[in-house]
Amino acid sequence: MTNQLTTIKKLLPFLKPCRGLFVLALMAATVSSLLTLYIPRLTGEAVDCIIGPGNVNFHGALMIIVKIAVCACLAGFFQWIMSILNNKMTFEIVRDMRNAAFKNIERLPLKYLDSNPSGDLMSRVIADADQFADGLLMGFTQFFTGVVTILGTLFFMLMIDWRIGLLVVVLTPLSFFVAKFIATHTYEYAKLQAGIRGEETGFVNEMIAGQKVVKAFGREEAVLRDFDEINERMEKASLKATFYSSLTNPSTRFVNNTVYALVAIAGAFAAIGKLMTVGELTSFLSYASQYTRPFNEISGVITELQGAIACAERLVDLIEEEPEIPDPVDAEELNMPEGRVRMDSVCFSYTPDRELIRDFSLSVDPGMRIAIVGPTGCGKTTLINLLMRFYDVNSGSISVDGKDIRKVTRRSLRDSYGMVLQDTWLRSGSIRDNLTIGNPEATDEEIIEAAKTCHSHSFIRRLPKGYDTYIGEDGGGLSAGQKQLLCITRVMLSSPDMLILDEATSSIDTRTEIRIQKAFHSMMAGRTSFIVAHRLSTIRESDLILCMRDGNIVESGTHKELLAEKGFYYQLYMSQFSGKAI
């Protein structure tokens, strides 16, 4: 329960903007409920006009009939208005929460995103938010009418006989206790269900994304077995959550029926003692049954809300997750840097138990082309994570143009670099959308110009709709090389001040690669660039080649110097020509 309270507290800021709507909805609910309660009275009056054969007050009856019609229409209208307002509140609250969650995703440190399955995060933004909306909507709708009906009937009951009326008031909390007892137990199951649902979404996400591998290895059945395992747990948890939450309604109804029976007995004794007429007892009982019904609904709403809050909790957790340390207020803008990059005794590790980069120092002059080579896993990609400030160094410092990168805005730092990664990420959208990510204002001429320079123009032109061709998630039907060409064009178009190429051309044929490099060279003239590559042919022209091994630089120098050293680089270089069989 305390858990829920904290969650509700965290939800308040999202509920606040709806205060106005809330009041309006409450007013609409009041009007419509009161009119609805008034109709039975009118009906009674109409019946009084009909006494017997030849004794019917048609004029009076017709007047009342018209009143009934008007009341019904008005009640219906206000009820509709209330529903519209409720819809608006619910969907807008959830919209704001989704927006907040998404905004935070854009700000979370990579450390968090790298270590949380994206399927689970997605499940929070989509499925949990939906569940919350459903609960909230039901809550609003039933809550308003319920409250007004309770107050209205209570008023009428106390008017008829205050003693029995009080009895009803005193007994009412019973159903709330029952509802609360069930709700506390339901909450745990709802949370369990939401957790397993997240797990299942994660699994489905992973498997469907890798579906081709699943098929290639004939793992369909094995994967299905794993799925079954989660799915069965899901079924069990879901059965429990659904069943326990559905207990509330019958239980409170039972309590209410008992109260009703007690009222009937008390009323009957009162009638026998001539304290009340039979007619009064009849109307009292009819109000009593009207009075208890909203309690059923409200307690039903409470259980629904339990589930909703369990879902909201997961969403709020994501919204409240600590974002990246914000740029300091006095952060400078890195404006068209010359490209003097220094790394001073940098140490870094992803996990405390395994140090990856140790006491790493490097000084790069403007316009230098730095190549980083070394066996896989030696820390090359990590270096890029640090340069781009995706991760912060554990100790030491990195500076650009003499400014510590922690003291400049991330935006201007990242803006200074053009980055092409090994992982070619493309979004679903047109080719044009993808190319202009770094430079949304680019004109068609500029786009085509950049594409021609990067040799992607010819294949783009051949696609069904050229630059407007829609490519699906993850590049759809494009080959790895084509995707890389698009990523390179994308960077070319953003004309950065410095460049980072992490195995950027590994899937592009060497002929094209050489042409692209020429383009890069002319573009990068006088600009600092970092190149990670395996094909040593691509880096021979570099000003400085760093050979990395286990997070350290073991050799550095130009191609010629390093070859002359006959060390690590020499071995790497000669190995390309080693003519082993196959």
Residue choice 512, 552, 556, 558 for contact with other proteins (CB under 8 A): 512
Residue 210 makes contact with other proteins by CB under 8 A: yes
Residue choice 5, 166, 170, 213 for contact with other proteins (CB under 8 A): 213
Residue 495 makes contact with other proteins by CB under 8 A: no
Residue with tokens 């021979």: 540
Tell me the number of residues near other proteins by CB under 8 A.
184
Nearer to other proteins, 365 or 437 (CB): 437
For residue 326, the minimal CB distance to other proteins (Å) is: 13
Task: Give the interface segment with other proteins, choosing from 76-84, 148-156, 166-174, 556-564 (CB under 8 A).
Answer: 76-84
Residue 77 makes contact with other proteins by CB under 8 A: yes
Select from 322, 494, 498 the least CA-distant residue to 405.
Answer: 498
Residue choice 1, 2, 12, 278 for contact with other proteins (CB under 8 A): 278
Coil/strand/helix, residue 143: helix
Residue choice 83, 153, 306, 542 for contact with other proteins (CB under 8 A): 83
Residue 110 makes contact with other proteins by CB under 8 A: yes
- Cα–Cα dist 127/201, whole Å: 9
Angle at alpha carbon of residue 110, lines to 106 and 116, rounded to 5°: 95
Task: Give the interface segment with other proteins, choosing from 441-449, 501-509, 522-530, 557-565 (CB under 8 A).
Answer: 501-509
Residue 26 makes contact with other proteins by CB under 8 A: no
Look at the alpha carbons of 347, 378, 366, 413 in this order and tell me if their dihedral is positive or negative. Answer: negative
Residue 556 makes contact with other proteins by CB under 8 A: no
- Cα–Cα dist 495/449, whole Å: 12
- Cα–Cα dist 545/534, whole Å: 12
Residue-level length of the chain: 582
Q: Is residue 404 a contact partner of residue 343, using CB atoms and an 8 Å limit? A: no
Nearer to other proteins, 365 or 414 (CB): 414
Residue choice 421, 519, 553, 563 for contact with other proteins (CB under 8 A): 421
- Cα–Cα dist 545/93, whole Å: 55
- According to DSSP, the residues that pair with 83 across neighbouring strands are none
Residue 581 makes contact with other proteins by CB under 8 A: yes
- If residue 396 lies in a helix (H) or strand (E), which one and from where to where? strand 395-400
Residues 105/108/114/116 CA torsion (nearest 10 deg):
-60
Nearer to other proteins, 304 or 313 (CB): 304
Residue choice 136, 157, 183, 281 for contact with other proteins (CB under 8 A): 281
Q: Which residues, numbered 346-405, are part of the site for other proteins (CB under 8 A)? A: 350, 353, 373-377, 381, 388, 390
Q: How many CB atoms lie within 10 A of CB 579?
A: 4
Task: Give the interface segment with other proteins, choosing from 89-97, 149-157, 183-191, 395-403 (CB under 8 A).
Answer: 89-97
Nearer to other proteins, 50 or 336 (CB): 50
Nearer to other proteins, 86 or 528 (CB): 86
- Cα–Cα dist 550/478, whole Å: 35
Residue 50 makes contact with other proteins by CB under 8 A: yes
The amino acid at residue 371 is A
